[in-house]
Amino acid sequence: MLSEECSTIEENISRHQQVLSSLHSDIRMAERRVKGLTSMVENLKKEQAEKEAQLSALKNDMEARKGDAQTLSAEKEKLENELAAIQNKLADKQEKLQTADRQLSELKENMDAIQERTEELKEEAYKYSRDVHSKVDSLLKDAMLENMVNEWREMSAQMKPSERQQFDDTLLCSVAERGTEVMRCATMLFLGMVDDATTFAETHGGGGGGNDLKWGRDEDEDNRAWALRCMKMASRMMRPSSGKKAKR
């Protein structure tokens, strides 16, 4: 399930990256359009200012009665028509520029949102991948432990009593003989459930923990070292009862 979920997330990431690529292309086109329209608007404003200046100068000439009145009137009408055409073009380009600016802003917002979601998916994929590796690692360790226990039982059955005695009180021997009980007892110790672990050991034929093994987790002790000590203590606690209990 974790592997399938990871694959699904990776597919989503791939789709998002395709969308991002398309958005990058759309944004570049939108930026070029905005740039072109901005340039047109600036040129039209410049042209409008020039026509307005010419028209103003012409009106001054008409008021001062400089030149032929009919010619000046015709020139004035021409400039006014040209100015009106420029103003219409300018209004059209400004409206299109506003639309292009809005579209560009929306594209960038979409891209930011998809990029953010893509990063979230990458984090999820990493988490699922890590969980997959963790589950596989646990499965392999379980298989390895089971195989080692089986091999130990086969080998120990062929040993002489003096040879087998060398492995007495070892963790290997304890796990091979009572692996399930030792693991359960160690789990409770790891979780700080010392009383429950002691009760479990005593009710399952154990109780020989002894009190010479340092107990309680050290502040700088990592999980692996703590787990190993829990296994060792559980191995002691699951020995046949000798009237002693685990140190609390």
Confidence of residue 2 (pLDDT cuts 50, 70, 90): low
State the CB neighbour count (10 A cutoff) for residue 104. 17
Whether 111 and 24 have beta carbons less than 8 Å apart is answered as yes
d(CA 14, CA 16): 5
Mean pLDDT of 58-64: 86
| CA distance linking residue 151 with residue 24, whole number of Å | 61
d(CA 163, CA 152): 13
- Say which residue, 144 or 245, is predicted with more confidence: 144
Sorting pLDDT into bands at 50, 70 and 90, what band is 242?
low
The residues spanned by each domain of the chain are: 2-137, 161-237
Q: Are 200 and 184 in contact (CB under 8 A)?
A: yes
User: What's the pLDDT score for residue 241?
Assistant: 64
Contact 182, 238 (CB under 8 A): yes
Evaluate if pTM is beyond 0.85: no
pLDDT band at 210 (very low <50, low <70, confident <90, very high): low
At the second CATH level, the architecture of 2-137 is Orthogonal Bundle (1.10)
Inter-axis angle of helices 171-190 and 194-203, nearest 10: 140
The tokens describing 115, both together, are 């990029």
Q: What is the mean pLDDT of residues 60-86?
A: 88
What angle (nearest 5°) sits at the alpha carbon of residue 213, between those of residues 141 and 194?
70
